[in-house]
Amino acid sequence: MSAKDWPPRWPDVNDPAVLDAMAAVPRHLFVPPQYRDQAYEDIPLPIGHGQTISQPYIVALMTQALSLRPDSRVLEIGTGSGYQSAILAHITPTVRSVETIAELAEAARERLQGLGYGVCVRAGDGRLGWPEHAPYDGIIVTAASPDVPPALAAQLAEGGRLVIPVGEGSWDQMLWLIRRDGDRLQKQFLADVRFVPLVASASPHEPEDTALTQIRKELQSLFSRR
């Protein structure tokens, strides 16, 4: 498929803002040169450091699940090459992104700035989010976590949405939508997926306080229900 025919028609992606963003963001500028002839195929591609740029369909599906508005505040975990960041920034100008791998974070920051996307990117442990600028209307995680990090759920605004792939192995991952409804969290299954694992920092221990401990227990209860 060529750029002029992009994006494909996905039967379960129909949000006009998402489709406009997918059409507007030049995916070939977010993949290594040796893969640019495949940029407009609906497949993931390597970007180095053992990471990938996600399949466009999954990017669109996850973005749609956030139900973004032009004034939404969004946090992305796993900047990668910056493609998902650019899709988000095409819908709302307030996007922050955390990338564990410093080299990827720096390259994505330069790429996004060069293309005119005002995304704030920093290197850090994505499981901890970016609490200084919380709460967020949407949080999107672009790598698979063995669980839902309590720190991310804690940074959701009222009515906020967290989209995250959860699973230990590459063949046992599920994409979930977590919604904050008052003092409760709700979950919705979206799709079976395959993502690279979420890379933790050298210190995997999250700081715990009473609120985080309570959210951790709530998440454990939420995922123990059928």
Residue 53 dihedral angles phi and psi, to the nearest 5°: -90, 130
DSSP-derived pairing of the beta strands 120-123 and 94-99? parallel
Strand order in the sheet with 120-123: 120-123, 94-99, 73-77, 136-141, 156-166, 173-181, 184-193
In three-state secondary structure terms, 164 is strand
| Cβ proximity of 165 and 141 under 8 Å | yes
DSSP-derived pairing of the beta strands 184-193 and 173-181? antiparallel
- In angstroms, the CA 35 to CA 20 distance is 24
Q: Which segments within 111-198 are labelled E, that is strand?
A: 120-123, 136-141, 156-166, 173-181, 184-193
Which are the catalytic amino acids? 54
